[in-house]
Structure 1
Amino acid sequence: MKSLLSLLGLCLFAHAAHAGPSINVGVVYDYLDGDKSTYLKRIFNGGTSTAFVKVEVLEILYDEQGVAKEVPLQTQLDSSARDGLMASPARLIVPANGLQGTRLVFLGERNNERYFRVRYIPVVPEKEDAFAVTEEEREAYQSTLQAGVSVLAGYGTVFFVRPKDTRYDTRIENSGAQYALHNNGNSVIEVDEFKNCVVGKADDCHPTTKNHVLPGRTFSFDKEAGREYRFKLVEGQASKDQVVKG
């Protein structure tokens, strides 16, 4: 299965670098619980000039082999089809050293878990972008950026929409040579802060990882003598520390 980590990434939009907007979207994984339909996402601008941010949403679909692809939402193609994730507003004006929020709203059926890629893209406002600025303000902003060398950096996040009737059912198999977690529930679970270390040497470890296990999938690793494996098993709001000896 193509890792959800591969669906993330920093989208760099080189534009002109001593001053300019610099946005921060916080965590890159967000989760909408089964009893909620809206989620507030806050965007911080730590730069020295206003950030004009476009919010774009794509749905992540998996085929039978677990390969992911991103597709446009039907709601973007047909305004009468209300099924998917929408950002309101989808255009943000974030002042320097300021904060703005967009509300992510899910409309449609919640029988199965669904996944979305949400992109937050700083732009130089154009007429067609629907930002509430005059032509004079747009030109002045563009001239300000062009006076220096600025990098407009956008971020992609992954948004999980849990089923309405969320059910967790994690099965563990701990054999002599391998450890496996099977997600038999209907919502994603996390193997968070996964550490593979030499026993008794907390500073002799492989890089720490975060892993998402989708419904019907398995996370496993081979156990090696003299090593221990520590992680948090996260099922929604519940988190359990796990230690596995090699």
Structure 2
Amino acid sequence: MKRLMTALAVAMTMAMSASPHSAQAAAPNIHVGAMYEYAEPGKGALLKRVRNTGNATAFVRVQISEVRYAADGSHQEIPVDTADGSQAGLVASPSRMIVPAQGQQATRLLVQGDRSSERYYRVRFVPVLPQSEDEFALTDAQRDDYRKELSAGVNVLTGYGVFVIVHPDQARYDVQTETTGEHVQLRNAGNTTVLLDDVRQCSAADKTAKCSPTRKIHLLPERTERFPRSAEHVHRLQIVEGDSRKDVLLSP
């Protein structure tokens, strides 16, 4: 990996030396694809590709925090200590990437530790300006050249966060429909997240009328999603439980 990083860094330096007076300020522009990733039962690794559509090399640091939810719905993020592999629930390999302009690199998100209950992680892909203590295998001269190239037009480098849901090994799905006076609600009585997909509100009388824009809801265990009851409207959606997908109509 260090050989690859060094080779990419040298190529970056040569490209910058060849065009020191470019008319447009160089800048990386990374994309990480889907904002949600799912580690299904028995699946121990996820491959995440990072693409750079900008005109400058991107030095990307991967930061992982575990998201822990309280009973009242509040949550806190706790940085994952990757130094202790026995405790880390999710680690990135590699955790630092050099992504050339108009190129891509990939990292594996490895699931470790206990999977008796569902766990949640925020994975951030953060472009950085290399520092002397970073492990990007750059010389001081290469770091200086890169910082000068970006200093003309880039003050903030934009990163992206990905939410990773690690399903338990013994996943149990149980979505229950409950009707109250003013609402129809779906309650997740199982032990793993269920996806409510393609959720839209439609006219109850006119099936040809246009429905509302679709939305997607992640229904965590012990959570409830409420839909208002109305004689004029129905709600259409799909419930996704692992590999299973079923159409649901919630009517008054």
- The TM-score normalised by the length of structure 1 is 0.85
Kindly provide the CA deviation profile for residues 26-54 of structure 1, in whole angstroms up to 9, marking residues without a partner as x: 11110001111111111111111111100
Aligned CA RMSD, in angstroms, stands at 2.0
Q: CA deviation at 1:194?
A: 1.3
Deviates more, 1:39-48 or 1:167-176: 167-176
- Structure with max Cα Rg: 2
- Segments of 5+ residues of structure 2 without an aligned counterpart are 1-23
> Within 5 Å, which residues of 2 pair with 1:1-246?
18-73=25-80, 75-76=81-82, 79=84, 81-149=86-154, 151-174=156-179, 177-199=182-204, 200=206, 202-203=209-210, 205=212, 207-246=213-252
Structure 1 residue identity aligned to 2:68: L
Q: Which has the higher contact order (CA 8 A, sep 6+)?
A: 1
Seen in structure 2, the aligned counterparts of structure 1 residues 104 and 215 have a Cα distance that, compared at 3 Å, is same
Q: Is the 8 A contact 2:171 2:191 kept in 1?
A: yes
Aligned-partner Cα distance in 1 for 2:85–2:126: 26
Q: Is the 8 A contact 1:20 1:150 kept in 2?
A: no
- The TM-score normalised by the length of structure 2 is 0.83
Structure 1 residue identity aligned to 2:249: V
Using the aligned pairs only, state the percent identity.
42
Determine helix, strand or coil for the equivalent of 1:115.
strand
Q: Is the 8 A contact 1:231 1:242 kept in 2?
A: yes
Aligned-partner Cα distance in 2 for 1:122–1:18: 16
Kindly provide the CA deviation profile for residues 201-234 of structure 1, in whole angstroms up to 9, marking residues without a partner as x: 64452x4321111112211211222112121211
Kindly indicate which of the two structures has a greater share of residues assigned to strand: 1
Aligned residues: 227
Aligned-partner Cα distance in 2 for 1:18–1:153: 16
- Segments of 5+ residues of structure 1 without an aligned counterpart are 1-16
